[in-house]
């Protein structure tokens, strides 16, 4: 009877810890990281979509690395790019880029550390390593 009670208490403690961990508010870093990944993936999807306007091919490349100081200039350039204003998906992407820029320069300004300022690295994304079987 005592071991059953201990097991129930242990289970309750584990469940509580799991709930607390999953409901923890995002940090500035985690929010910026997830938003930059979301924007990069949306841009890739937009570039490969067959149904989107041909002007999408002329957009500046949008590979984002929030550890690179040049990401700020990259976001500014993308948001200010005059083409494709008639494409809803591009406007949505520009709005997300504007939000990321605002978060980076305002809310998270002191929380982030830029590890590099290599602007060329944002032009050619690093491919994930190929796994050999």
Alpha carbon 21 to chain centroid distance? 21
Q: Does 6 map to a domain?
A: no
Q: Let me know: does 64 contact 39? Beta carbons within 8 Å.
A: yes
> What's the CA gap between 102 and 96, in Å, rounded?
10
What's the pTM value of the predicted model, to 2 decimals?
Answer: 0.70
Domain assignment present for residue 60? The answer is yes
Is residue 17 one of the residues assigned to a domain? no
Domain of residue 79 covers 26-122
Structurally, how many domains does the chain consist of? 1
From first to last of the 133 residues of the chain, give the pLDDT tens digit.
557 767 777 777 776 665 555 555 568 888 899 999 999 999 999 888 877 788 888 888 888 888 888 999 999 999 999 878 888 889 999 999 999 999 998 888 777 778 888 888 887 655 544 455 4
* 51 lies in some domain: yes
Question: Does residue 14 form part of some domain?
Answer: no
């Amino acid at each position: 009877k005592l071991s059953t009670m201990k097991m129930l208490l242990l289970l309750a403690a584990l469940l509580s810890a799991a709930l607390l961990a999953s409901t923890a508010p995002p940090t500035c870093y985690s929010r910026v990281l997830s938003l930059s990944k979301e924007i990069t993936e949306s841009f890739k999807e937009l570039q490969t979509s067959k149904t989107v306007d041909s002007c999408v091919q002329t957009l500046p490349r949008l590979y984002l690395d929030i550890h690179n100081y040049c990401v700020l200039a990259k976001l500014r350039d993308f948001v200010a790019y005059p083409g494709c204003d008639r494409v809803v998906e591009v406007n949505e992407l520009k709005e997300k880029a504007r939000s990321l820029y605002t978060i980076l320069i305002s809310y998270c300004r002191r929380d982030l550390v830029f590890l590099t300022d290599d602007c060329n690295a944002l032009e050619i994304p690093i491919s994930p390593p190929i796994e050999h079987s």
